[in-house]
Structure 1
C-alpha cells in the first residue's frame, strides 16, 4: 500500500486551501458507522447485561473453575458448592448450600455484585431458586456494605420443599438513593425453621430497570451511549469470543436462548465465564431497539489454540449456522422458526449480512479458510439464503464476486493517517467492512508495546482521518466500527475502548473517540462528489445527503503547526447560502476523558455565509475534526 510520509506535513499555512466540489459525478455511498459488540473487559457480563448479581448460578469450567466469588456468609452460616443428584437443571448443575451453622437466629448470605451495586429509588425485580425444607420467610434486601443501612427490604413466604427446586420472585423499591455503589444484596432466613440444617440455592438474580423495560435486559446508561452515536449496524457476538479457546468452547447460539436455567454459560476467551444471559435474542432485541442492521458473526471451526475443523468435521458447524439462520429468519412453520415462536417471538428478524468466523488470517486459520472452510460456508448459506450477503473475516483471500471482506486495523496515530488512501490503492471488485478500528498505541509503538489505557485526542483525530478515507470510498466500504466497545474499569484486559464504566452509571465515560464518531455519524453522506484533492495536513471528503438536500464537507487536520485556512466551494451553491460549521478540538494531543474529570473535547459551532462564487471560508485548528453542512 502507499503510505504518506508524516514528517513533511508539519508546516504553517497562510493561504487557504481552495477546495472545489462538483455538483455531479461521484458515487452513491453505502458507508455507515456502526457497532461491534463482544463480551470482553466485563463489557457484557457486569456491563451491558443489566444483571446485578455476580456469579448468580455458580457456572464455571476447567479454565475458570466454579467458585463462591462475590458471595459471603451472614451470621455464621456456612457456604459450599454442591453438585446435587437433583440439580436445578442439566445446564446449571452446581448450586450453593447454605448451612445454618451452630446457633439459632437469622443467617444467610450476601452478594457484592460486579464491584458494587448501584442502588437508586427505583424498582428492582429479582428471583431465586431454593431446595430444602423451610417453613419461615425469606428476607431479601439491598444494604450498604459500609454502614449496613438497608435501602430496601421485603419478606417472601417460603414455598421451599426438599424434593424440588422452587422459584421465588420479589421486587425491591428503595425510598432513596445510596450514596455510593459499595452495597450488597442479601437473602436471610430464620435458622430454627430449617429442617435438615441447610438449604440449597441457585440462579439468584436481581435486575434494575432496563432499556425499554425488557426482561433480562440491558443497562440503560450504556445503551443510551450507544444510541447517541447514531449507529446503523451491529456486528455481534464477536470478535474472538465466538471462536472459543479450544474445541467445544465456541459460542453456541442454541445455548443462549430460552429460560435462564437452561443456559449453561461458557468460558470466554477474555478471562471469565459467561452466563449465557446476554444471548442471541437479547442481542437481536438490541438491534430492534436501536434500529440497527444485524451483522451476524458465526463460529466456523477455528479455535484460538490454532486448531481447525477438518473438512469432514466442518459439516456440523455449518449445520449449526443454518439452524441459527432458520431460528432468526424462518417462518413459524419451520422447526427452528417454531422454536423462536415458542419463546415469544413469532415475527422473524431479517439478516442482511453474515460473517464467517473472526480474523481467520491469524491463529493458524488462514490455510484452511482459503482452501475449504470459507467456500463451504459460502456455498451452503448461499444455496438456502441467497438474499443474505456472506462476509469473510479477512481480506487475505480471493473472494467470490458477491462476497464481502472484513478489514481490521489497530495502529498508532501516524499509522492510521498513513492509511488514509488504503482503500484508494487497494480497490477490488468486492465491497468490504472495516469491522474493527482503533488507535491503540502511541506514535512509535506497535504490537508488543504498551497500549494506551484510554482513547486520547491525537488518536481520535487519526481515526477521523482513516474514517474519511473510507467515506471517500463509500461505494465499496459498507461501514466501520470502533472496537472494543466497553471497558469495565474494575477488570479489563484490552485497551483502549470506546466507553468506560463502573457499577456507578455516573462513572460512564464517552471517550474522545466516541465524540469523533458521533460527529461524523450525525452527518450522513449518501453520495460522494468529486472534489479538488490535496491531502495533508487537511484530510477531507465532500458529498450530498440526498435525503435532506444538503451539501456536506467532513475534514480533519493532523500534524499542522498552525491553524489551517480552508475555502470550500460547492458547485451550484450560491452567494448568501448559510452553512453550519461544527468542529471538535482539545487543548492537549494526549488529553483523554476519565470519570470525575472535565470533558476534554470542546465542540465549536458557527454559522458561515457563502461569499462570492458560493465560497465558504473558515480556519481549522491543528488536531481538529470538522463538519460543514449547508442549510436545508
Structure 2
C-alpha cells in the first residue's frame, strides 16, 4: 500500500454515439467473487473502528515500539494512577495493570475515567455490556457511568467489589435513559476513598455497545451494514502491511489473537499504534460468515517492513505456523489445533484461498520471495491442502507469472487519468494465473493534464470514482482471469488516520458514518452481477470516453449492461440491443452522477441516483443517453424481455473456470452464500 508516481495525458474526449449489439452465446462465465472486501487495521479501523470495543487502552498493552502508558485514562478526585507489573499479573499476556491509590485524594469519591476512541456514543435503547478485572484492597461499590464532558449522566450502574487475593472479573450493563447529542462523553469509574485499603489494581476494562448479529466481542453495527452494502463475495484478511510488522520479531502472529482476551498480548501495528488483538483470527472468520464472504486468508511470509527477511534456514518455523493456522481453522477434533478450536466453541471453517504474504516485492523482498520464500510456503500448503487456491502477494514473481499455476495479487494506486486508461489492462493476462486485485484506489487529484503526484485527496471524489469504475469494468470483462477486486483501505477514523482516501469514514458517532463516492459506485456495480459475459459487436463509437460490458445473470435471468462515461464533452447517445430481447422489452436504467470533484460530506451524499425505464424499439434496441462522469447499470428482467419471451431459469454455462481450470481452489464459494446476503453452513 505504497504510493506510485504516474504520468499520462488527459484531454476531454469528443462525444460520439455508441451502437452495441450483444450476442446470446459464446461468452465466458464470470467469477462469483467479482467484488470483495479487504481489511487491515489502519486508520484505527479495527481498534476504535469496526471492532466494537469502546474503551481505549483497555489493558495497557505495549512493547518497545509503542511503550505501555496511561494514555486516554484520567484521574478523578485526585486518585493516583500508575502502571504496575505485579508479581501476580492478570495473565502472562496482560502483565501490566493500572494501580489506583488515594494518597493524594482531593475528594471523598475518587476514581478514573476513559476518553474512549475520541468519545463514546450514547444511544437510548442500546444495551451496553461492560466488564473489568480487579485485584487488591477495595471493599465497596464501584459506580460506573457514561457522562458528557459537562457531567450530564446518561447511564449509571453500581457493582459491589470485595478484596481478594486473586484477580476477579466483574460484569455490568447499561441502558441509557436518553441519547447524547454527540460523542463528547466519557466512561467513569468512582468509589469512596474510604473503601480503599492501600491500593487496588484494574485491568482489561471493557465496554461494548450492541454488536452485529449480537456476537460477543463483536463488530460495530453501522460499519458492518456499510460493508454489507457493497455485496462483497470474498474477504481478504488480515491483509495489508499491518500483517507484516515493522521489524523483527513482530508480525501478525495468529496464535496471539485466539482464545480468551486475557491471553491476547497485543501487537505493535504497522500504522503507528498498538493493536489489542481483540479483533482476532476467529473474529475475522465470523465476520466473513456474517456477511456471506469467502475468506481469502493472508499468511505472513517472512518479510518485515524494515527490509529484514527470514533466512532460508530459519523459515520452516513460519511455514509450520501457516500450516498450524490452517489446521486450526479447518481441522477436525482429532487434530491438535482443530481440537483447540473446538474447545473454544467453533466448528471447522472453510478456506478456499490463501495468499502468501503481502506486497513481498517491497523493500528488496522480491529476490528472496522468488528464490525461496514463496516456494516454501506454496509447496507445504499445496501438499497439505491441494484444493486451496494459492495466491502470490504480487503478480510478476520471477519476472513473469507466479510459479506453479498460482494466482497473483495486483495492487493499483493511481491518479484518475491512469486508472481510466486501464480498461484493457488485463486483456492479455492468462486464466492459468488468475489475478486478485487485492487493493486499488484513485489516490490523487489530477495535476493539470498529467498525473503528477500532488496533494493526496482527503476522501474519494467523483472523477476518481468513475475512473475506478472503468478499471473495474475492465476487470469484469476479463472475469475468466480476474478472481475479484477490493478497494483499499476500507475505513478511515476521522479522528486519526495514516492513509487517505478511504472507502468509508467514521468516528465514535454513528451519525457521522459516511459512505464515499467510491462506495456508491461499487454498491451499484456489485449489486447487479453478470454471471456470463457475452460478446459485443460495436458498430458505432467504441471504447473511450464510454466504457461498457454486457452479459446476463443466470441467477435472475436478466440481461445486463454496465457502463461508465468519463471525460466526454457532452451526453453520449447509446443504441444497445441484446440478441433474443425483442421489441417492447422493458429495461431499468440506473445511473449515478455528481460534480467532478465532489466528495460526500460527513453523513451525507453528493451523488445523485437516477432511475429510468427504457423501452426497446421495434428492432429490440434500447436508446438512451448518459452524461459525462456517470456510472450506469441497465437491466432487462427475465420476464421483461419483450415479445412474450421469459428467461427465468435460463442457463447456458457450467460454472466459472478461472481458478478451477487447473483444478485448484475457490471451490467453497457456494457454501459461503452470495453477495453479502447471509451465510449457510
- Partner residue in 2 for 1:46: 48
Q: Secondary structure at the match of 2:440?
A: strand
- Partner residue in 2 for 1:429: 432
Q: Secondary structure at the match of 1:462?
A: helix
- Partner residue in 1 for 2:444: 441
- Partner residue in 2 for 1:369: 369
Post-superposition offset of 1:203: 0.4
Corresponding residue to 1:542 among 550, 566, 575 = 550
- Partner residue in 1 for 2:589: 581
- Partner residue in 2 for 1:387: 387
Q: Secondary structure at the match of 1:612?
A: coil
Give me the whole-angstrom Cα distance separating, in 2, the residues matched to 1:6 and 1:27: 33
Post-superposition offset of 1:450: 2.6
Q: Secondary structure at the match of 2:83?
A: strand
Q: Secondary structure at the match of 1:33?
A: coil
Indicate the RMSD between aligned Cα atoms, in angstroms: 1.5
Q: Which runs of 5+ in 2 are unaligned?
A: 1-5, 639-681
Task: Tell me the TM-score normalized by structure 2.
Answer: 0.90
Does structure 2 retain, via aligned residues, the 8 Å contact 1:99–1:199?
yes
Q: Which has the higher mean CA deviation after the structures are superposed, 393-402 or 537-546?
A: 393-402
- Partner residue in 1 for 2:647: none
Give me the whole-angstrom Cα distance separating, in 2, the residues matched to 1:394 and 1:613: 47
What are the equivalent positions in structure 2 for 1:55-454 lying under 5 Å apart?
55-103=57-105, 105-121=108-124, 122-145=126-149, 147-161=150-164, 163-196=165-198, 198-345=199-346, 347-397=347-397, 398-427=401-430, 429-444=432-447, 449-454=454-459
Does structure 1 retain, via aligned residues, the 8 Å contact 2:154–2:176?
yes
Describe the superposition over 1:444-497 as per-residue Cα deviations: whole angstroms up to 9, x where unpaired.
Answer: 376863311100000000000000000010111000000000000000010000
- Partner residue in 2 for 1:594: 601
Task: Tell me the TM-score normalized by structure 1.
Answer: 0.96
Does structure 2 retain, via aligned residues, the 8 Å contact 1:6–1:418?
no
Does structure 2 retain, via aligned residues, the 8 Å contact 1:389–1:402?
no
Give me the whole-angstrom Cα distance separating, in 2, the residues matched to 1:477 and 1:390: 14
The number of residues matched between the two structures is 622
Q: Secondary structure at the match of 1:82?
A: strand
Give me the whole-angstrom Cα distance separating, in 2, the residues matched to 1:72 and 1:233: 42
Q: Secondary structure at the match of 1:363?
A: helix
Post-superposition offset of 1:154: 1.0
Q: Does 1:555 align with 2:563?
A: yes
- Partner residue in 1 for 2:643: none
Post-superposition offset of 1:310: 1.0
- Partner residue in 2 for 1:476: 481
Post-superposition offset of 1:428: 5.8
Does structure 2 retain, via aligned residues, the 8 Å contact 1:361–1:396?
no
Post-superposition offset of 1:10: 1.5
Q: Which has the higher mean CA deviation after the structures are superposed, 27-36 or 398-407?
A: 398-407
Q: Which runs of 5+ in 1 are unaligned?
A: none
Give me the whole-angstrom Cα distance separating, in 2, the residues matched to 1:307 and 1:371: 15
Give me the whole-angstrom Cα distance separating, in 1, the residues matched to 2:252 and 2:470: 34
Structure 1 stretches (4+) deviating beyond 6 angstroms? none
Give me the whole-angstrom Cα distance separating, in 1, the residues matched to 2:289 and 2:63: 33
Give me the whole-angstrom Cα distance separating, in 2, the residues matched to 1:594 and 1:363: 37
Does structure 1 retain, via aligned residues, the 8 Å contact 2:116–2:186?
yes
Does structure 2 retain, via aligned residues, the 8 Å contact 1:568–1:616?
yes
